[in-house]
Structure 1
């Protein structure tokens, strides 16, 4: 019986933690990680402040947990689905397409979570900065890996500069996100789609394998 009660408390704690993190990623994508506070979350979610503190311990721990939760959402929305496409230029395009959908559909209310918090913590050293940087480094490395696999598959020209192409694609994505959030204009996603497809068709060994440029 004691074990059952303990398991029940642990599961309730886990459910509460998930509830809190669902809210913190929403807040942080709009207001930044500094917009988070244990007291605010307790009030909004009708929880005790001491209970929220017991789950996270400090504002920094809450911020770190929020970034990690956002990483998991990003993986579910973009990276994992893209992996279902065979390696090649089609996977690179699918990565970009899914990213644009993730931003345009406002999986996070403020657009791309990492675009928002990167600007907030870019010059602030510490564990939160390092975790955000790690997420960005991993994303760029994944895009570069997808391009490299496309070269190995013969889908992308062998002389393609992998680092430069990844930089260009990510720049198109982030500019679309930033402009859309700032100006509340979804047309920039169509512009980004056109730019990305044109760039990929320029390096594809078989441009017809990609969708037509809108």
Structure 2
């Protein structure tokens, strides 16, 4: 039973890794159990046993993307000192993550937010939740910059959250469109200028 369980866990992770790549290129709506089965040379019934429906597959794909993003971006960024170094580390890690094409179509969440921004349902609700959590995280790190004296008292936190998110999404979009990495460099330069940082 242990061997069967391990194989099941492996199959699920391999399936979700492929699902994330598909979603960043063709959208979450581009995911089907049949397509994954064919591409991974697995039985459709086997994949169905893991997810049960297209919607459950979409939700599991989002969770998997969160896990990968946490490992590549969030955990390393939080090793940086509190305040501006940590906020810059988070932004830099985000840009490096997209630049490296850890997911085939760049930033997973930029892609799915654009795909589901005018929809309703469980997947939309999860995407909105992630967007709010991300903005709250940026807001907390900006507030820490103020507490550490790295940003002035009275800084408009919500405005700065908007600007950082917009710059990151624009860099991801423009780089994918033009196949050029210079957009990431421009975004990081803009963020450093906005935060009054050098280097």
Question: Normalization by structure 2: what TM-score?
Answer: 0.96
Q: Within 2, Cα distance between the matches of 1:88 and 1:23?
A: 36
**What per-residue deviation string (whole Å, max 9, x for no partner) do you get for residues 33-78 of structure 1?**
1111111111111111111101100000000000110011111111
Q: Which residue of 2 aligns with 1:182?
A: 177
Q: Within 1, Cα distance between the matches of 2:35 and 2:152?
A: 53
Q: Superposition pairs for residues 34-183 of structure 1, below 5 Å?
A: 34-183=29-178
Provide the alpha-carbon RMSD of the alignment: 1.0
Give 4+ residue runs of structure 1 displaced > 2 Å after superposition. Answer: none
Query: Size of the alignment, in residue pairs?
Result: 199
Q: Which residue of 2 aligns with 1:211?
A: 198
Q: Which residue of 1 aligns with 2:10?
A: 15
Q: Within 2, Cα distance between the matches of 1:29 and 1:19?
A: 16
Question: Which ranges of structure 1 fall in alignment gaps of 5 or more residues?
Answer: 1-5, 202-209
Q: Within 2, Cα distance between the matches of 1:70 and 1:169?
A: 21
State the shift of 1:211 in Å: 3.2
**Bigger CA radius of gyration:** 1
